[in-house]
Amino acid sequence: MVGGGAGPSAIYYNPASISEITESKFSLHASLFSFDFLNIENALGNGEDLDFTRGSIEPRFISYMVKPKNHENWRLEFAFLNNEKFRMDLTQSVDRNIDVLTNLPGDERYYSFFQYQNIYRDDWFGFGGSIKLNRSLSIGASMFLSVKSLEYYYNSDIEAFPSDSVFIDGEYIPFYSANYQKEEYLRFNDYRLLWKFGVLWKKDRFSLGFNITTPSLGGIYSDGKEVMHKEKQSNITFPGTGELLPDYVFSDYSKKNDVSVNAKSPMSIALGFTWFTADETKKIIATIEYFEGVDSYKMVEAKENPWIATGSDYGGGDFNDWLTFTDEYKPVLNAAIGYRWNVKKDLEVLTGFRTDFNYRKKQDPSLNSLNKQIRGLDIDVYHFTGGLSWRVLGQDIMTGLQYTLGRERNQKQFVNLSDMVEYNTKEMMPLQGTRQNNMNAFYNSISIYFGATFNFGS
């Protein structure tokens, strides 16, 4: 919609196209029902899959467009919109009898519990305006307050223990357990400012649009800040030597003013066009948008407690970034194409297709990098849309369906709980195997939309 015809969504796609309205409008668009289906093969090891299903209902877009009576060439718009929303809740347990502890005879009970939660929203509040410089050319700008809200939790808790008492080096041990746990929690709301600047050029049978979205400006305000990171192990034997590795607990938690948040978003440049037939009953719309990359940076930092580490020997490690989360953006080019057809007076059919490529793909897969980043899935998704728009008693009613498809193969597993060993020397991880690049994710989503635009004026 960058190239024109965006209607109430002009403030987002290209503020210059706000000038296209001929009367004041109030719009309300909602996602009546959204159903998400996710299946992740081999997520926790070979044959250890994860599944997630969710339904939701919520408003997505509210705007008020104004045609000032005393300034014929000016148009204004105020809007609230949900730019992005995401939620994933995953839990799984692996429970089996297997000989995993090298210093004990026979099988042990191997029990692990995995939990992952990621809830993310990006809500925008903004206003914008445009002015017609002449019959063909309009320019416009909009300003938004972006509120990024994140709640993230990751927990991998693994234990191996014999069912009966044991003797170790002739000593009677009534209870024995080898364990490893990694736990992360992060929550914040980050308030940021950004701007859009657009140009729209119209001729008899087509129009061209250009829009720049600035990087978001941080440091405005943040609240609800909490961050926690915990890791512990005990009774783990190093392979080959048979010696016990040091027992330890590394744990810290910080909140509020001790936590700083800087959840950046990149600059993007969009170019679009709209072509229509002579009678304007059929229109083809296309857009491409390039999102600039952002180098790795500290998204969340916190003051660490000097007593993070406890254990028999933790080597005097550096824990300065124990509560740090990093992020980075890889450059992405997305595209969209749509078709609009006036079937008859006051009835229009709309169809479309757009890409939604993941900025996290091709990031540094090293272990240290993963330990500092929010864990997640790197899926490219594709959106197919179709719907109808009616004009009833001078008002516009819209309803439609969106199907979203995503497939991603050969990603690295979250953790390997199927080929477990007492100590994985390749990744230096206890009670788990080396992660394989055979995790396959399949995502499907169906959304039913409804919208209404109430026109005031001629």
User: What are the pLDDT digits (tens) for 134-171?
Assistant: 999 999 999 999 999 999 999 999 999 998 877 777 67
- Mean pLDDT of the region 446-452: 92
How high is the pLDDT of residue 450?
92
How high is the pLDDT of residue 225?
97
Listed by start position, the domains of the chain span 7-456
Does residue 258 register a pLDDT over 70? yes
Split at pLDDT 50, 70, 90, the class of 71 is: confident
- Mean pLDDT of the region 334-340: 97
Average model confidence (pLDDT) across the chain: 91
How high is the pLDDT of residue 367?
41
How high is the pLDDT of residue 408?
92
Split at pLDDT 50, 70, 90, the class of 458 is: low
Does residue 427 register a pLDDT over 70? yes
Split at pLDDT 50, 70, 90, the class of 316 is: low
Does residue 107 register a pLDDT over 80? yes
Split at pLDDT 50, 70, 90, the class of 370 is: very low
Split at pLDDT 50, 70, 90, the class of 363 is: low
| Residues 101 and 160: beta-carbon distance below 8 Å | yes
Split at pLDDT 50, 70, 90, the class of 52 is: very high
Question: Is the CATH code 2.40.160.60 the one for domain 7-456?
Answer: yes
Burial class of residue 201 (count of CB atoms within 10 Å of its CB; 0-12, 13-18, 19+): middle
How high is the pLDDT of residue 201?
97
User: What are the pLDDT digits (tens) for 224-239?
Assistant: 999 999 999 999 999 8
Does residue 127 register a pLDDT over 90? yes
Does residue 66 register a pLDDT over 80? yes
